[in-house]
Structure formats: C-alpha cells, structure tokens
Amino acid sequence: MREGKLFCGLCGVKVTEAAAEPIATKEPRAAVCLTCGSPISAGRRFCGTCGAALATATDAAAASAAPPRPSPAPSRAGMPAPQRAIPRVAVRTYTAYPSKPIPKKILMGAGSGVVLLLLLGFWLSRGVDLTIVTDPPGSEVAVDGQAVGVSDAQFGGITIPHLGRGAHRIEIAHQGFQLWSQRVSASWFRLSQKLNAKLELPTFPIAFTTNPGGVSFQVDGKDAGASDTSGNLTIQNVTVGNHVFTASHQGYPRWSATIEVTSPGNFRIDLAALAARQAQAIAGHLQNAQQFIQQQQFQSAMGECQAVLDLDPANQDALNLKNQIQQGLSAQAAAAAAQQVDAELSRAQALYQQQQFSAAIEQCDAVLKADPQNQQAAKLRAQIQQTASILGGH
C-alpha cells in the first residue's frame, strides 16, 4: 500500500494506520496447506497440490482488526456517490501440460477392433443358406409364418438363402399329411445348413364292438389287442389308407376285411352270427360236392370241397370228400388211359391187317411207351414183325 492512500486499491477497504505499514514487514506464509496438509514453499499464495488459496498470519490479523465496512451515504445533489468496494475472490488456477502422442499399439488395437466389427456385421448380414429336404416331395414350406416356396416335386429339396442367424419356426405342409412344425436354430458358425423333414400321415382311432368278448385283433398282420369282456376295443393311431383287419376267437370263424381309413370309425363284429352263417354255407357246399361225386363230376366236386376248406380249413367232412374225389379222379384217369390204349391197339391191328407193318409197329411202340408192361401191345408187335419178315415187309 502506498503512503497517502486512504482506501485499498484492490478491495476498497479504508486503510487504517496499522494497515498502512510497508509491505516488507509482512510475516512469512504458513508452511503447511490448511486444506490438504501438503508442505508449502515460502512465497506461495496457492497450494501446488490442491490449488487452495493460502492465508498468512498478517492477513488473518488484519482481517480481524479491520473495522466494519461503512454503508454508503446517500448522494447529495451535485455530489457523486462513493463506489462500493469489490470483494476479494479466490481464483483457482490450472496448469496446461503439453499433449502426448497416442502409442502405436493403441492405434493398431483400435484398427483391429474396427475390422472385427466390420467382419461381424458382414457375417450377421450374410446369414445361413438353409437347405430342406421334405418327404413327401412337393411340400409347401414357410419360415416364421411366411411362405417361402414349394420343395422339388421329384427330390423334395428347397434352399432358403441368407436366412438370418438365430431361431426360426419352420412349417411344412402337404395335402393328406400332418403339418410338420419345428423350431430350428440357424448356426452362428456356418454358412450353410441342411434339414430333413418327414411328414407323418394323419392317424385316427378305430373302435370295434365284438360278440363275444375277448376277440383278438390284428392290423396288417400285427397284434393290436383284444376286446374286453363287454366286447369293446379301440385301436389308436391307425394311419390313413387301406388296412387289413382280422379278428379271431377260439371256436368261432376267423373274420377278415380290408378297411379304408379316412376318419375315425366304429365297427361291429358278430362272430356268433358269422359262425351260424358259415355253418349253413359249409353244409350247402358239402351237399353239392356229394351230388357231383355221384354224377362223377369230380372237378366240380373238388371245387365245392375247396370252398368249404376256405371257410373252415379243419373241416373233416370236406377233407374226407376231397380224398374220395381224388380216388375217383384217379380211377377216371385210369379208365381213360385204358380206353386210349385199346383204341391205339385197335388201330395197330387194323394197320397190320392192311399189311402196313411199319405204321402198325409204330402204333404198338406208342402204347408200350405209355405202358411198358402192356402184354397185349408187346405180343401184337412181335406178331407184326414176324409176318413182315416172312412177307419181306414194306
């Protein structure tokens, strides 16, 4: 503060005589920062560690001894009002350091990260080529509810290009088959993927009511269970199409039928009534067979016996009649053969009388070929040869 000044040029406070001492008489500043406790060199006004303003002992004493600041007097006419003092504000300063170059390793790492992000973006956008082979061919294919096409009509293949990676719902439909639906995950690590889809035929329950109960069933030659004591049986999951159903029970005729399954069905099988009808049919066939045997119509009789055995393979009456018919057929064949031999011998005899010795001998040889033990043919041949040798033969 210069001598002769009544107010401070920095803060505007009225200077007292005590404060008007020369600046050189001020005490040295504190050696420790009161804010962070760091040591302070002499002559510093701010802490080098935390940047806080430093106060000296002389400053603290001056602040306590300074009288209160008078309020400004109202201005009089023609006189300027005294200016208010500006309060002292502590200013924190910062030191600007020169920037350091970014290390080469960091730059290379950042570049590699950008490349990896670009490759990842390409990989995700590229997707997966999903190839589906359907059975049957010509099936309609949909992905996430959107139709994408129909599989090949011959080989059943279809390719969905660039399918987004992740999970998708694949649905395949074909007329006459059950809808095929499955959740498929497009691999994150492959560019192509293959899927086989076999559609199943619809199935339906087929119910039977039998008389009597306990009837055993087969479907296409495979056991399918037996009806309960009440005669009820339901065969589950029978596929669409033609199937051979058979039913059997000891003491009753076997029932068999081909049924086309297109929907759930219910059938009644009365083996008792079937046995009665079968017994009546068997009696009729046996009666016809006996009549044909009496008339020596053995082929017709054999047909009637076979009809009985088709209904009842163990029918003893039909088996006995069949043996009788076979004997009759054998006797009939023997009689026909004998008649044939007699006719051929008669022809040989006629040729011998006409002195056609060569033709007569050939006729006898034909008889002996069919019946080597035929004495009549052998005797006639010897006679013809003897006569031919006497007469010189011709």
pLDDT at 354 over 70: yes
Is 2.60.40.10 the CATH classification of the domain at 123-198? yes
Which of 117-121, 177-181, 244-248 holds the top average pLDDT? 244-248
Residue with tokens 């401070």: 8
pLDDT tens for residues 289-302?
A: 999 999 989 899 99
123-198 and 203-275 have identical folds: yes
pLDDT at 99 over 70: no
The residue-averaged pLDDT of 321-325 equals: 91
What is the reported pLDDT for 61?
46
Residues linked to residue 246 through DSSP beta bridges, in sequence order = 218, 256
Three state DSSP letters for 232-267: EEEEEEEECEEEEEEEECCCCCCEEEEEEECCCEEE
Nearest Cα residue to 215 out of 200, 231, 203 = 231
HSE at residue 4, side-chain half, CA atoms within 13 A, is 0
Burial of 348 (0-12, 13-18, 19+ CB in 10 A): buried
Q: Is 0.85 topped by the overall pTM?
A: no
Compute how many other C-beta atoms are within 10 angstroms of the C-beta atom of residue 138.
Answer: 13
The residue-averaged pLDDT of 196-223 equals: 95
Cβ atoms of 346 and 364 within 8 Å: the answer is: no
Give the rounded percent of residues in the chain with a pLDDT score beyond 70. 75
- More reliable by pLDDT, 381 or 36: 381
Nearest Cα residue to 351 out of 381, 390, 371, 372 = 381
Q: How many angstroms from the chain centroid is the CA of residue 360?
A: 84
pLDDT at 108 over 80: no
What is the reported pLDDT for 147?
94
Cβ atoms of 206 and 235 within 8 Å: the answer is: yes
Q: What is the mean pLDDT of the chain?
A: 81
Cβ atoms of 181 and 206 within 8 Å: the answer is: no
* Domain positions in the chain: 1-97, 123-198, 203-275, 335-391
pLDDT tens for residues 65-77?
A: 555 555 554 544 4
Q: What is the CATH number of domain 203-275?
A: 2.60.40.1120
**Main-chain dihedrals φ then ψ at residue 188, nearest 5 degrees:** -80, -10
